[in-house]
Structure 1
Amino acid sequence: MAACGRGLSRSLGTSPRPAWRGAHSDTGGRLKSEYDAVVIGAGHNGLVAAAYLQRLGVNTAVFERRHVIGGAAVTEEIIPGFKFSRASYLLSLLRPQIYTDLELKKHGLRLHLRNPYSFIPMLEEGTGGKVPRSLLLGTDMAENQQQIAQFSQKDAQAFPKYEAFMNRLALAINPLLDAAPLDMEAFRRGSLLQRLKSLSTFKPLLQAGRILGAQLPQYYQVLTAPSAKVLDQWFESEPLKACLATDAVIGAMTSPHIPGSAYVLLHHVMGDLEGMRGAWAYVEGGMGALSEAIASSATAHGASIFTEKTVASVQVSSGGRVQGVVLQDGSEVRSRVVLSNASPQSTFLKLTPQEWLPEEFVKRISQLDTQSPVTKINVAVNRLPNFLAAPNTPRGQPLPHHQCSIHLNCEDTLCIHQAFEDAMDGVPSNRPIIEFCIPSSLDPTLAPPGCHVVSLFTQYTPYTLAGGKSWDELAKNTYADRVFDCIEAYAPGFKGSVVGRDILTPPDLERIFDLPGGNIFHCAMTLDQLYFARPVPLHSSYRCPLPGLYLCGSGAHPGGGVMGAAGRNAAYVVFRDLRSM
């Protein structure tokens, strides 16, 4: 086992570009001076938008500032021999239409579906020679009930009803994800033709209403209430409630006790991979392999994708219409439309000439809530963690719980709330909430034999520390050491298995991936920033006040997560607009 770490530095070094990453600097041929459409940023949504536009006959180029495509859905060999999904690390929400339309399987996408999918070990003394208890959940409802019954027979009986309830809500919301939001401005002030066209945007809402029917008041509460309140109505056992509550706060600077947190609970049932509702998977080769498959589909139809080509500004004609972009090297690239996969803040506050945007619009964009609680730590280890609640086999091969999202410091919802309160005081959580994933447990291509890559998605860490202090290397390593100490309590020997680590605080996530405030969703997924208020009211249709400029990233409807819906929806809006020009 230890041999896998031989010759590897325990500190981060600069490694060459990984050979597995295809050369995209000239994917679609030489850079031309004019295209029908230009996409700023090769994140997964930008790539999806380019793929759909190109399939529709719109000659499209994508410009990416980094040396690698994918945005936050990227694989990077940070430590030699270890390939990390450096930011995004799990796949579930990718829209089924995209998977099919873009023929991603044909273009190399391979998934490792996880079952079981969730594991919470208890931090308690075993009794009578028994190991500490744990909660293991998967797709087998009978097994789930048996697991939950350790803590509450009542909850074991309620769990199938809860799952059915949440699945119905997810089914109702599905149509809203795959279409542009209701265009109230066109309905109120547009021409007769625009008003008639806007009527079609009512259809998803009507579909949702029909599905929810008489239960609409109960579902309204799920969308608006604190998740703790919703879960208290269903269950009594804290380990189960805490397990589910992690889905309500993941990536969000919120607590289970804050109104609106229950909405994100839907994310654990909204996914649909290869026909399996609620499935979660590791992408073989890491999340960058998903981006590579989308890019391969786009370029197969003629799209051009360029890396290390930073867009400096959006170019506007004297008549007040987008006419292309200017690259950092001074090159001008003309286009009929520009789609930005960058955040709303970068798009409208940095890349767009301010004189072409209304002052009130700019003010609203600058006031978007971008708070992030996330510090992502990528770890290379030379053996699997050995949890007290689920000991390893003598040979140390992966067990079912190793493929799960392993939730630590999540014995009850109060632990989560207390961790949140620490960050509100400008202090990294004393007992951070840790989502611990080992993708190499199912995908051995990611690490040398016997070794593993570990993804630690941790909360809560403020962007700015108490007293206005910034994160420095000492603060980063002090926090990471605290996280590792917590893991050690559940899995003794973990710290001794570490070969190297990569610590990404909110400022790091902002700097590397252009995530405002480090927010993985570009801006918070709160009710005041969703649907026809995303990113701001009256500008949720992917269009903006500057004609010819569109948003297609996570800051647009339906928001964050690796789902591709914003890219696909934006592409269709752009295509309709191009046809009417």
Structure 2
Amino acid sequence: MAARRARQLGTAGAPLFLGGCRCSHSGTRVSLKREYDAIVIGAGHNGLVAAAYLQKGGLKTAVLERRHLVGGAAVTEEIIPGFRFSRASYLLSLLRPQIYSELELKRHGLRVLLRDPYSFTPLLEDSQGGRPPRSLLLGHNTAETQSQITQFSVKDAQAFPKYEAFMSRLVSAIDPLLDTCPVDMAMFSQGSLLQRLRALRGVQILFRAGLALGKQLPQYYQVLTAPISKILDLWFESEPLKATLATDALIGAMAGPHTPGSGYVLLHHVMGALEGRQGAWGYVTGGMGELSQALARAATMLGAEIFTKKTVAKILLSSDGKVQGVSLQDGTEVKSHMVLSNASPQLTFLELTPKEQLPSEFVQRLSQFDTRSPVTKINVAVDRLPNFLAAPNTSSGCPLPHHQCSIHLNCEDMHTLHLAFEDACHGRPSSRPMIELCIPSALDPTLAPPGCHVVSLFTQYTPYTLAGEKQWDNEEREAYADQVFDCVEAYAPGFKASVIGRDILTPPDLERIFGLPGGVCTSREPQPTACSAYSGCHALARQPVQ
């Protein structure tokens, strides 16, 4: 049961994890044993969730993490003295609500800061009559949001609640599928009677989802398959609104607004929830590392053992393909009849698993899978809040409502987004990149010294490999960051002068530090599903790998 649950889900450093061994809550060190019921490779959030459920199901479980801290891409790191960054993932929403309750994450210290309003798009335009440039502020208050949209289109303001209801209905229909194993159609013809019944149950859930969507099923199918530009054109006419909504369909994906299938990524970003509020996104108090620490505490309280600085070099298989455990980089062997990997599919099957014991077709297909990311993440320490022309700061310098939002820059219209994508397709960092700027310290002042702030810049599009097969070097990295800062400066003069330090993570950097192949990052936040950015847990158990 625990293994099945882990597969469904699998789909800084706290004092618990010191010097490569786990410390119990009493402070005593626990050494790595030579045999466990289950081993989890990698202490990313998916691995920690899987470990907690495996241990809860009665399987003695060990988690082996190569880095010095747990969390994978959901970590808090003090890159610049006094400033604590959510270095990779930076927002929370898609973590399944039952994990909150079943693992008692609030009891283990998880605190979430909801954002309302949640989206701010300033425009670059000349002031008229002494008034600042226009901007679009979206929040959960329908009337206020409609008033904001009316600046650009009365028709769009009237359509927006209908659009949100349309998307909400799709989310409600699909949500039950997230906790169901994918239907294995081969079981209908090859499986036992019990396996066929289980497969039939999955089909029934799919059928119920279809019934829930009713006559609008063709329109919903279009959301999952069409370009986001086509979907939004059916609903709206104003470019700032369409471009703002399109960011949720493009963020983290090597896709442009006219790319077929980009509509699904939009759905992916509206189907989360926080504190019972559908579609809400928020910051984690203390940074994203505190989510991972809460998961680690839950797992260790249940009895799981988590070890840092333990790099797995190989998954051990018998001659007939059955899992026997893992071998560490230092030569240590740890036995287990069940291994779950929170590493990427490429690392798990192409490097850790003996390829000669895998089907050749599987190896070939996985080798050809393109996971290259268009994202460069820049973490910035500043000595004051950005002061946007479209929404000037007050004399007190205190955060205003728009400072807590996802702030979208270079998002005035869909054409600008398309041009940014085209740049990357030709091997060039975008000249006007799509930027999502967040200031978590506006709600969580513990992240920075008094009066200072941490700024997250999630930028795209940047190719993994530059034109002419050129690799990123420090000069290219710094030049791109300067370009991004010039863009921010145009919206918020004085930003560059406020910078104390910065941490630049291009796609190859994300790959090297966090083990994300190609720097792949299809989401701004972690989630326990089969998301390629955070690749879930791949279960290898007693049955042969083949």
Q: Determine the structure 1 residue equivalent to 2:33.
A: 32
1:51-200 counterparts in 2 under 5 A?
Answer: 51-200=52-201
Query: Aligned partners of 1:191, 1:43: CA distance in 2, in Å?
Result: 35
Q: For residue 22 of structure 2, what is the amino acid of its counterpart?
A: D
Contact (CA 8 Å) 1:252, 1:371: kept in 2 or not?
Answer: no
Q: Deviations over 1:406-435 (max 9, x none)?
A: 000000011100000000010000001100
For residue 490 of structure 1, report the CA deviation from its aligned partner.
Answer: 0.2
Query: Aligned partners of 2:377, 2:241: CA distance in 1, in Å?
Result: 24
For residue 268 of structure 1, report the CA deviation from its aligned partner.
Answer: 3.2
User: Is 48-57 or 262-271 further displaced after alignment?
Assistant: 262-271
Q: Residues 408 and 22 (structure 1 numbering): CA distance in 2 closer, same or farther, change over 3 Å?
A: farther
Query: Aligned partners of 1:20, 1:307: CA distance in 2, in Å?
Result: 11
Query: Aligned partners of 1:32, 1:197: CA distance in 2, in Å?
Result: 36
Q: Deviations over 1:180-230 (max 9, x none)?
A: 111112223122232222222223312311211111100001111000000
1:559 aligns with 2:531: yes
For residue 311 of structure 1, report the CA deviation from its aligned partner.
Answer: 0.3
Q: Determine the structure 1 residue equivalent to 2:9.
A: none
For residue 486 of structure 1, report the CA deviation from its aligned partner.
Answer: 0.3
Choose from 11, 17, 21 the match for 1:23. Answer: 17
Q: Deviations over 1:473-520 (max 9, x none)?
A: 000000000000000000000000000000000000000011110001
Query: Aligned partners of 1:322, 1:558: CA distance in 2, in Å?
Result: 22
Determine what percentage of the aligned residue pairs are the same residue.
Answer: 69
Query: Aligned partners of 2:450, 2:457: CA distance in 1, in Å?
Result: 21
Q: Residues 19 and 201 (structure 1 numbering): CA distance in 2 closer, same or farther, change over 3 Å?
A: closer
1:506 aligns with 2:507: yes
Query: Aligned partners of 1:33, 1:318: CA distance in 2, in Å?
Result: 21
1:163-562 counterparts in 2 under 5 A?
Answer: 163-521=164-522, 558-560=530-532
Query: Aligned partners of 1:557, 1:377: CA distance in 2, in Å?
Result: 26
Q: For residue 23 of structure 1, what is the amino acid of its counterpart?
A: F
Q: Residues 23 and 70 (structure 1 numbering): CA distance in 2 closer, same or farther, change over 3 Å?
A: same
Query: Aligned partners of 1:116, 1:293: CA distance in 2, in Å?
Result: 27
Instruction: Report the 3-state secondary structure (helix = DSSP H, G, I; strand = E; otherwise coil) of the residue aligned with 2:17.
Output: coil
Contact (CA 8 Å) 2:409, 2:434: kept in 1 or not?
Answer: yes
Instruction: Report the 3-state secondary structure (helix = DSSP H, G, I; strand = E; otherwise coil) of the residue aligned with 1:26.
Output: strand
Q: For residue 531 of structure 2, what is the amino acid of its counterpart?
A: G
Query: Aligned partners of 1:60, 1:99: CA distance in 2, in Å?
Result: 20
Contact (CA 8 Å) 1:378, 1:456: kept in 2 or not?
Answer: yes
Query: Aligned partners of 1:160, 1:422: CA distance in 2, in Å?
Result: 35
Q: Determine the structure 2 residue equivalent to 1:542.
A: none
Query: Aligned partners of 2:504, 2:86: CA distance in 1, in Å?
Result: 13
Contact (CA 8 Å) 1:111, 1:283: kept in 2 or not?
Answer: yes
Q: Residues 521 and 155 (structure 1 numbering): CA distance in 2 closer, same or farther, change over 3 Å?
A: closer
Q: Determine the structure 2 residue equivalent to 1:544.
A: none
- TM-score norm. by structure 1 comes to 0.88
Q: Deviations over 1:354-392 (max 9, x none)?
A: 111010000011111212100000000000000000000
Contact (CA 8 Å) 2:16, 2:22: kept in 1 or not?
Answer: no
Q: For residue 258 of structure 2, what is the amino acid of its counterpart?
A: H
Query: Aligned partners of 1:22, 1:490: CA distance in 2, in Å?
Result: 43
Contact (CA 8 Å) 2:383, 2:453: kept in 1 or not?
Answer: yes
- TM-score norm. by structure 2 comes to 0.93
Q: Residues 21 and 468 (structure 1 numbering): CA distance in 2 closer, same or farther, change over 3 Å?
A: farther
Query: Aligned partners of 2:386, 2:529: CA distance in 1, in Å?
Result: 39
Contact (CA 8 Å) 2:14, 2:293: kept in 1 or not?
Answer: no
Contact (CA 8 Å) 1:93, 1:561: kept in 2 or not?
Answer: no
For residue 126 of structure 1, report the CA deviation from its aligned partner.
Answer: 1.2
Q: For residue 148 of structure 1, what is the amino acid of its counterpart?
A: I
Contact (CA 8 Å) 2:516, 2:533: kept in 1 or not?
Answer: no
Q: Determine the structure 2 residue equivalent to 1:12.
A: none
Contact (CA 8 Å) 1:177, 1:558: kept in 2 or not?
Answer: no
Uncovered stretches (5+) of structure 1, i.e. residues with no partner: 1-17, 523-552
Query: Aligned partners of 2:15, 2:520: CA distance in 1, in Å?
Result: 26
Q: For residue 326 of structure 1, what is the amino acid of its counterpart?
A: S
Contact (CA 8 Å) 1:27, 1:299: kept in 2 or not?
Answer: no
Number of equivalences? 524
For residue 22 of structure 1, report the CA deviation from its aligned partner.
Answer: 4.4
Q: For residue 139 of structure 1, what is the amino acid of its counterpart?
A: H
Q: Residues 19 and 319 (structure 1 numbering): CA distance in 2 closer, same or farther, change over 3 Å?
A: closer
For residue 175 of structure 1, report the CA deviation from its aligned partner.
Answer: 1.1
Q: For residue 86 of structure 1, what is the amino acid of its counterpart?
A: R
